[in-house]
Amino acid sequence: MEPLPHNEHDKPDFAPTAGSEAVEQSSQPELSPHPAQQSGIAFWVRDIAVAVIAAVLIIFFLYRPVIVEGTSMLPRLEDSDRLVINEFVYHFTAIERGDVVVFHYPRNPEESYIKRVIALPGDRLRIDHGTVWVNGKRVDEPYVPDGYKDYRSRVEEVVPAGYYFMMGDHRSVSSDSREFGPVERSLIYGKAVFVYWPARDAGVVR
C-alpha cells in the first residue's frame, strides 16, 4: 500500500510515546551497502565467472566425450558408457603399458576402437594359454577377471618400431591386435580418462 500524502490535516491526534518508538525507527531511511562492500561483491562475482569460463574452455579443448560401443572392455567399460578422452596428453607424455586408448581401426580408419596398451614398440611379446608375457616377464592383469579370460596362445614376436600391441579386457570376445596386428602410433588419438555416465560406472578409467 502506498503511503498517504502528508499535510497538516493528517497530523496524528496523539503524541509519540515510548510505545511508538518502533514507528519512529521504521520511518528512518534504509542504509545502502557501503561502496567498499559493493566493490568486493563485484570482484567475487567476476572471479567466479572467470573460473567457470576457464573450466569450460579446458574441458572443451582438452577433452572429448565419446560413447563406448560393444563389450570388449568389460568389466570396466560397458556398452553405451559415456566417457571423456584426453586428445592432447600424448603430445606431452609417452604412451605407457596399461593405458586405455582410443584409436582409428587399422582396417577402416572411419571406425574407432578403445583398447588397452599391452606392449610398446620394441617389446618382446608372447601369450601362453591366455597368460601375457612381455620382455620375459609375466604381466599382472588385475583388470581381466577370471570370467573374462581366454586361453589362446601366440608365439613370441617383437612389436615393430612406431607400433603398439592392443588388447581388450574381455579377452574372450575382443577383436584386437591378436587379429589385426599392432596399431601404428599415428592412429592413436586419445587416452580414456573418466566415465561420467551412467552414474553407477562413473569414475577414473584405470
Active-site positions read 72, 115
Question: Does the N-terminal peptide bond of residue 65 adopt cis geometry, omega within 30 degrees of 0?
Answer: no
- 69 and 79 Cβ atoms separated by less than 8 Å: yes
Rounded-to-integer distance, Cα 187 and Cα 131, Å: 27
Q: Per the structure block, which three cell numbers stand in for 83?
A: 566417457
CA-to-CA distance for 43 and 52, rounded, in angstroms? 14
Of 121, 179, 123, 124, the closest CA to residue 150 belongs to 179
Q: In terms of DSSP H, where are the helices of 112-192?
A: 177-180
Question: Which residues share a beta bridge with 115?
Answer: 101
What 3-state class would DSSP assign to 146? helix
